[in-house]
Structure 1
Amino acid sequence: MTKTAWVFPGQGSQALGMGMDLLDIPAAKDKFAQAEEILGWSVTEICQSEEEKLSHTLYTQPSLYVVESILADLLRERGHWPDLVAGHSLGEYTALYIAGVFEWSAGLYLVKRRAELMDSAIGGMMAALMNFDHEQLEKVIAQTPDVVVANDNSSAQVVISGKTEAVQAVISQVKAKRAIPLKVSGAFHSHLIAAAATEFQDILESVEFQTATIPVLSNVEPIPSIDGDILKQRLNKQMTGSVRWREISLQFPANGIQRVVEIGPGKVLTGLIKRSSPCLMLENIHSVADLPI
């Protein structure tokens, strides 16, 4: 048997029209209805026609969780199961749901509150750097207060986060092929949203985490675990901690994984994994048409 990992993308992978083909499936339609009760707004309406809202943190995160989890459930219904799961930032919540750590509705409640708190954490900025000088970046960040590496995505891509002037100072000093400011409301995955993270900690404590049925690679500590308490502790650090995706990518072959399936819109994660672990078979499931028969 080919050892397989499932991975779930985070904010930035959303796409208008995602999940619309799921409306023909009764079980998926029920999930969308449940989501509307929990959220107070319709995921399908946002994904169908409201592009501006879909790119807004408040709506992006719950929409991705709902669409990704439905696709993954359909994959399980067809007899497919992963040996390991991971998700990028928001995607870690889908991974934990698939691993049986919490119920679907509990996961959506957490994502809803996370999105609300992150959306309210205004100030600062994030920027992606492509093909940059590693030593130079480390040196400049060490010398610049209030900026951190928020996402260590691959050897060729990182995202930095912090106070606007600090992020701009790093961009101006580090040689990179491209530097792209991200369309987010705040300095996510940095100490600047510590107040939101502290408030979220109480919300997280209210949800019981079970022992995972599948090992999970967490963003802040990419070592497989099934311990519910450990997974909760790791998730608790995630909002202000760095997403260590490059290390997660390296963990797949180290744990005997031969195939990685990205479930959700876009091909961001498989693209990043290919850079770090080119030996892996990579697949993408964006829609019902991509599901194996």
Structure 2
Amino acid sequence: MTKNVWIFPGQGSQAVGMGLDLAEIGKDKFDKAEKILGWSILDKSQTDATELAKTEFTQPCLYVISAILSDVLKAKGAKPDAVTGHSLGEYSALYCAGVVDFATGLELVKQRSLLMSEASGGAMTALLGFDRHQLEAAIAQTADVILANDNSNDQVVISGTEAAIKSICEQVKSRRAIPLKVSGAFHSPLMAEAATQFAVTLEKTIFNDAEMPVISNVAPDDATTSGQVIREHLAQQMTSPVRWREICLYLAAQGYETAIEVGSGKVLTGLVRKSAPSLALVNVSTLEQAIAF
């Protein structure tokens, strides 16, 4: 059988109207989510793009929709050989792997999203089309900035103080530099206070051993099924880079043949194509696609 990995999207993959086709089949989870969150996933997904893009709404919406879609796939007898996710998507992957149950995962996502949305004092900018060696050298020589999302060879996100980001953009020529509409410098040391608060919750949460290997954002060459190791990785995630490019290279090197993106959008399969073109790509973002899988 084909060796496959299920990949779960993070913030930036949301779309107005996502999940509406799951209203009936996912009713139990949507109802549970409303009790936990105090607001409706389906109602929020029908608001305007600006409202949906707010961190405290985006992250729970993406988690719940990915969870329902993975349930549909599993009900059909599908099973991943490994799972991974991009930032927030790692929590969807943990639900899929049985590390946390649905409610526990959503409680974690709820707190994480609130802490991140309340963060301040930093910024993030996406860079497209640049000289990687020049960028890495500039970051190494500039304080208070980090390569936060290493998505592919020619697509990254830098995170840090506004002054440091401006300095990098002045030093490094890129095809495009796109400031992101976020409240803080996610995946950087500037998130230390939020990460410290979140670590208390992680320590109190029960993490089961995974049913299949989980590939972490912070340790892409160390796939694990250990619940304790997964907890330790999550404790680092908020202040550490998302090493997605390295995850893609790891998948190819380990002989994975197919990457199946479970959740809204096609962002991750697009990134896999750039770094690991040998993998076949499948998108499951709607009920119709899940049923046809």
TM-score by length of 1: 0.98
Q: 1:165 and 2:167 equivalent?
A: no
Q: How many equivalent pairs are there?
A: 291
Q: For residues 137 and 49 of structure 1, what CA distance do their matches in structure 2 show?
A: 38
- Once the two structures are TM-superposed, the CA of residue 52 in structure 1 deviates from its matched residue by 2.5
Partner of 2:272, secondary structure, is helix
- Once the two structures are TM-superposed, the CA of residue 161 in structure 1 deviates from its matched residue by 0.1
Question: Which AA in structure 2 matches 1:65?
Answer: Y
Task: Within 5 Å, give how 1:138-149 maps onto structure 2.
Answer: 138-149=136-147
Q: 2:64 aligns with which of 55, 63, 66?
A: 66
- Once the two structures are TM-superposed, the CA of residue 196 in structure 1 deviates from its matched residue by 0.4
8 Å CA contact 2:8, 2:92 repeated in 1: yes
CA RMSD of aligned residues (A): 0.9
Structure 2: gaps (5+ residues): none
Match in the other structure for 1:246:
245
- Once the two structures are TM-superposed, the CA of residue 256 in structure 1 deviates from its matched residue by 2.0
Q: 1:17 and 2:25 equivalent?
A: no
TM-score by length of 2: 0.98
Partner of 1:257, secondary structure, is coil
| Runs of at least 4 residues off by over 3 Å | none
Task: Within 5 Å, give how 1:99-110 maps onto structure 2.
Answer: 99-110=97-108
Question: Which AA in structure 2 matches 1:78?
Answer: K
Match in the other structure for 1:117:
115
- Once the two structures are TM-superposed, the CA of residue 251 in structure 1 deviates from its matched residue by 1.2
Question: Which AA in structure 1 matches 2:224?
Answer: S
Partner of 1:24, secondary structure, is coil
Q: 1:216 and 2:214 equivalent?
A: yes
Q: For residues 72 and 214 of structure 1, what CA distance do their matches in structure 2 show?
A: 14
Partner of 1:107, secondary structure, is helix
- Once the two structures are TM-superposed, the CA of residue 255 in structure 1 deviates from its matched residue by 2.0
- Once the two structures are TM-superposed, the CA of residue 176 in structure 1 deviates from its matched residue by 0.9
Q: For residues 247 and 135 of structure 1, what CA distance do their matches in structure 2 show?
A: 16
Match in the other structure for 2:7:
7
Q: Deviations over 1:9-31 (max 9, x none)?
A: 10011000000000132xx0111
- Once the two structures are TM-superposed, the CA of residue 50 in structure 1 deviates from its matched residue by 4.0
Task: Within 5 Å, give how 1:256-271 maps onto structure 2.
Answer: 256-271=255-270
State the identity %: 54
Q: For residues 190 and 107 of structure 1, what CA distance do their matches in structure 2 show?
A: 23
- Once the two structures are TM-superposed, the CA of residue 125 in structure 1 deviates from its matched residue by 0.6
Q: 2:76 aligns with which of 67, 75, 78?
A: 78
Structure 1: gaps (5+ residues): none
Q: For residues 32 and 267 of structure 2, what CA distance do their matches in structure 1 show?
A: 28
Match in the other structure for 2:190:
192
Q: For residues 81 and 137 of structure 2, what CA distance do their matches in structure 1 show?
A: 38
